[in-house]
A and B are shown apart, each in its own frame.
Chain A
Amino acid sequence: MTSRQFLLVVALVQGVLLAALVVLIILNRWFRLRRSAHLQPRRAAVDDAMRRWAAGAAPLAGVLIGLARLPVSLAIDALVGWSARVPGERWRELAAELEHQWWARVVRANGNSARWWKRLECARFLSVGAMPSDIARLTRLINDPHAAVHIAAVASLERMESTPLTLTALERLPSLAPTVQAYYAGMLRRSRPVVIQHLQKRLRRTDDPALPRLAEFAVRLAEPALRERMTALADHTNLEVRTQVARALGSFPHRESVAALTRLGADSTWEVRAQAVRSLGMIADATTLSLVRGLVRDPIWWVRLRAALALMRFGGAGRNALLEIEVGGNAEARDVAKMILGLPAQALAEFAA
């Protein structure tokens, strides 16, 4: 074959491909329009049936028939959409009925699929339609390697109280990225008693590599039952643990918290001092005023800022201390005092947050 013939063949193939692509685009648009014209009334019918059933004006059978007529992904979308609007008892009734639906059985079976999108479909369905018999399946899905799948599966904790599931999620929590941890934390709040009990045990293991993450989670809960364990970790060797403890103790006005925070206020790392002084401001114990006042002269800007903001929470005495610092001999402390005293209440509140 000569080069000319080769180019001719390439040009012909390209021409055919171009024509095929144009036809594909047009057919795809036409097909989608037709499909949407078919499905929209069905989706509207499900919404209508759901509305009437939720109001007690129609039987559940209408909803089930409507859902079965939709493609699975749309049926799951409809369920997720309505799950927040239907009261718990009625929703459980629907979830129980869905167990016997053929399409729901297929979706459940997809929980073992090798394809992540099938498992995701299953996890999304179970996040709103799980029954006690699904606990083993959900446990597997929470341990799924695909992030989208386990994130969808953990949402089932919002509706289901199950100790094994809660513990599975708690075990997974420390190994997750911070954003995902925060999401898990939100889901785990509902199972508070189990979580607290578990945390009390785990926070005792001072050599646990997951301790910083668990401490961070404990801060989010702000649970008084955890105060004692958190206080005991104030002298931990890990900087992140001490930082989390310094953050957490601000929510627990107690003399042991104040004592621990006083020690943390003199920590060698500025991150811990900054959090400790913030927490001391939250508690605003008069005996710590001089310590907080001293931290306005800290060599690190963030600690000085946090200390000055904390002084504003001590009321008149704190304000007077700042006024004295403003005309004092330390230039850096003077600057930060001047800044904070010049802030309006709204800005102060935002910075203190």
Chain B
Amino acid sequence: MSVFGGVIHGTDLAILIYFLGLNSFYALLLVLSIPEIWEQTRLAEDDDFQRLMQSDALPPITMLVPAYNESATIEASVTAMLTLEYRSYEVVVVNDGSKDDTIDRLRHAFDLYEVPRIYPETIPTKPLRAVYRSRTRSRLLVLDKENGGKADSLNAAINASRFPLVIAVDADTLIEPDALLRLTRPFLLGREIAAVGGTVRVANNCTVKDGRVTDARVPHSLLAGIQVVEYLRAFLFGRLGWNRLGGNLIISGAFGLFRKDYVSAIGGYRTTSIVEDLDLVIRLHQYLRRLKIRYEMPFIPDPVAWTEVPESAKVLSRQRERWHRGLIAATWQYKGMMFNPRYGRVGFLAMPFYAFGEMLAPLIELFGWIVTVGGLATGMVDTTFALLFVLVAWCYGMLLSIWAVVLEEVSFRRYRRFSDLLLLLLYASLENFGYRQRTVWWRLKAFVSVWKHQHVWGEMTRKGFATPPS
């Protein structure tokens, strides 16, 4: 065998081992998600919400709502947030130097009046222009500040918050009325919670009335539809599986509840980070593990927030590229935690998984394709074997996606129509044919951006939610 042949075979073997290792880990997550979703579903069904609503046990919560150029939706979003089923909470909206009339909309809609700032700036932020309270909604506080980005706005809101728990919510996210109540379940169960994440679902094609999703539908657009399956997979089995492994590294920035004292202790959100939620969670793990504080960061599936996902490939590519850039940056920045016994399961399981199984996956996949095509061209790789391998890989991907649909179906069943269920199955089957390859390409572009030191957020254009026919 020539040296070239040896390299090809060696590389093939390495890729095969990587494939087996990674997919075995996914299989482990899949298995672990079963008892977890069963337990969560039982607890969710047995909650006596009326009793909870009447008790003063519920911890008070501050909702942090950064808003930048949200003039079109801000009034409806804030109104919906102010009418959640929760006894003690406040909403702090931060106008992050919007160029449109977001602040004027808020001022008129909620009859705002200016008040002096009477809290210390625990986390430094861009200068505040004014602080407003509402004459009509006592739960509402509005901060008007100079533009500093989402992380800076969240920090400003944390400074102004009064309550011990904070939840970061995007201004265009629709929260289900009982979501806060459900999110606090782990606190009520007496666990040592540092943060808790809920499910984010795709709102495209759903019917929205008064800021609430009244009819959940699966989008007809292929791109949005496949993202429904992707979100189900990420939340219902990925994060549930991680619950059992004790190393949830991602709590969605669009819907995550945190203990304020911990967030303040680590200096709040990092304004230089590309993916501020991932960065925050890793730093929280780092801080709590260093101080040997007992904590949990569970994901619970039944509190739901709905968000609009991109329907154009251009916008989606920017979003995915940014997410991956954030993952690369965070992995690099916190590489010291990897395989460090001080960080326990986070250092030995979660960080290596995200580094090797998520961050490097597109590079390895590309490399695999190049080597395989090279091997096929030179006759060193057997064609039937290569085709079978691709078939097995795709089938496995499909199995994971369909498993996510199974979990949804046996637990929460948000999509009531039979046609929606069939659409979900169709999208789960189609994901591997074109869509996944494109996401690999977008993630590969992130490496180029990191190489070029690009730090751009990428604009997210939204279509808006569907309203019921009058």
Contact = CB atoms under 8 A, between A and B. Distances in A.
A18 B385 contact: no
Contact of B48 (A124, A301, A346): A124
A127 B133 CA distance: 42
B44 to A, nearest CB: 11
A73 interface: yes
A185 B409 CA distance: 38
A14 B399 contact: yes
A15 B405 contact: no
Contacts of B118: 305, 336, 339-340, 343, 351
A170 to B, nearest CB: 16
Interface in A223-275: none
B113 A344 contact: yes
Interface in B228-268: none
Contacts of A73: 45
Interface stretch (B189-197, B322-330, B342-350, B439-447): B189-197
A184 to B, nearest CB: 8
B417 to A, nearest CB: 10
Interface residues of A, number: 56
Contact of B55 (A121, A152, A176, A186): A186
Contacts of B42: 117, 120
A216 to B, nearest CB: 13
A21 B402 contact: yes
B413 interface: yes
Contact of A28 (B59, B384, B399, B409): B409
Interface string A1-45: 001100110110011011001101110110010000000000000
Contacts of B421: 25-26, 29
A215 B90 CA distance: 28
B188 A180 contact: yes
B138 A350 contact: yes
Contacts of A344: 113, 115, 133
A57 interface: no
A334 interface: no
Contacts, number: 124
A47 to B, nearest CB: 16
Given A338-B116, A342-B115, A183 B55 contact: yes
B323 to A, nearest CB: 28
Interface stretch (B269-277, B388-396, B453-461): B388-396
Given A4-B382, A8-B388, A18-B398, A183 B120 contact: no
Given A14-B392, A344-B115, A180 B48 contact: no
Interface string A172-188: 00001111111101110
Contacts of A343: 115-116, 118
B108 interface: no
Interface in B34-54: 42-43, 45-46, 48, 50-51, 54
A151 B189 contact: yes
A185 B314 CA distance: 55
B114 to A, nearest CB: 10
A68 B189 CA distance: 31
Contacts of A22: 402, 425
Nearest to B133: A347
Contacts of A4: 382, 384-385, 388
Contacts of B46: 120-121, 124, 148, 152
Given A7-B392, A8-B388, A17 B399 contact: yes
A60 B134 CA distance: 51
B370 to A, nearest CB: 21
A7 B116 contact: no
B406 interface: yes
A25 to B, nearest CB: 5
Contacts of B451: none
Nearest to A346: B138
Interface of B: 42-43, 45-46, 48, 50-51, 54-59, 113, 115-118, 120, 133, 135, 138, 184, 187-192, 382, 384-385, 388-389, 391-392, 395-396, 398-399, 402-403, 405-406, 409-410, 413, 418, 421, 425
Given A29-B421, A155-B48, 8 more contacts: A18-B402, A148-B43, A177-B187, A180-B57, A185-B56, A339-B116, A342-B115, A346-B135
14 contacts: A21-B403, A21-B406, A25-B405, A121-B46, A124-B48, A151-B188, A179-B59, A180-B57, A182-B55, A186-B55, A186-B57, A339-B116, A344-B113, A346-B135
Shortest Cβ-Cβ A-B pairs, 10 listed: A183-B57, A182-B57, A177-B190, A147-B189, A14-B395, A7-B388, A180-B190, A186-B55, A179-B187, A339-B118
